[in-house]
Amino acid sequence: MHSSLLPFRPLPRYLAALLAAGLLSVGAVRHAQAQAASAPSGALPVVPHLDLLRYGGLWHEIARLPNSFQRKCVDDVTAEYLPRPAGGLSVVNRCRQSDGSLEEARGVGRRASPREGDADDAGRLEIRFAPAWMAWLPAVWGDYSVLALDEDYSISLVGTADRNYLWLLARKPSLPENEVDAWLARAAALGFDTSRVIRSGPIAGS
């Protein structure tokens, strides 16, 4: 986590270490929220239905827009979502760094409050990597919008309303190049700058 991303004071060092490998972080949260006011309300459509039990399990990062809190991730980038008894999801994000070490960040996810007048809002979630005692602070909850999801819950396109963060996730570590291109085209149609996308894993069949 790097203070240059934040419009506020830097996070304590122990939080920075905890969040460094996360797909979403407090920094992403604050940055996204700072940008959200200038984004048109409801401008980013999400999937109208999302079964959290089916969405749970291990996901591999296939591609992402570059971000500072994942700059040390070079391989084996995954997100694991586990249903919680009290509702929502436990989140475990991992990635391999250039020195071979595995970084990990743990958090929780929940459904976001529905936007006014938007009944088809099930794909909007919030993720928190900050400690539980900070859960009451809106700023520690990050936008996690499921923009597209295939029928068998094997590929997911995730982004934030300000279009600064984007991830293509899959149950398999790799996808065919034409399939990756097709999913990124969907993101481009939603206003994401896919020319900057980093492709994380190997191309299937190559």
Which domain range does residue 19 map to? Answer: 3-199
pLDDT number for residue 133: 85
Closest among 45, 42, 23 to 145, alpha carbons compared:
45
Q: Would 206 be classed as within a structural domain?
A: no
The sign of the CA dihedral 135, 138, 142, 143 is positive
pTM given for the model? 0.76
Closest among 93, 81, 99, 45 to 153, alpha carbons compared:
81
Q: Would 22 be classed as within a structural domain?
A: yes
Per the structure, the count of domains in the chain is 1
Residue 101 above 60 pLDDT? yes
Q: Would 205 be classed as within a structural domain?
A: no
Q: Would 171 be classed as within a structural domain?
A: yes
Q: Would 116 be classed as within a structural domain?
A: yes
Q: Would 158 be classed as within a structural domain?
A: yes
Q: Band of the pLDDT at 204, cuts 50, 70, 90?
A: low
Mean pLDDT of the chain: 79
Residue 67 above 50 pLDDT? yes
Residue 77 above 90 pLDDT? yes
CATH code for the domain of 63: 2.40.128.20
pLDDT tens for each residue of 19-37: 433 443 444 444 434 444 4
**Which tokens belong to 72?**
């040390």
Least confident range from 42-46, 56-60, 128-132: namely: 42-46
Q: Would 204 be classed as within a structural domain?
A: no
pLDDT number for residue 122: 86
Q: Would 62 be classed as within a structural domain?
A: yes
Closest among 22, 32, 155 to 78, alpha carbons compared:
22
User: What residues are paired with 107 via a beta bridge?
Assistant: 91
Instruction: Kindly write down the DSSP assignment for every residue of 145-180, as one continuous string.
Output: EEEEE-TTS-EEEEE-TTSS-EEEEESSS---HHHH
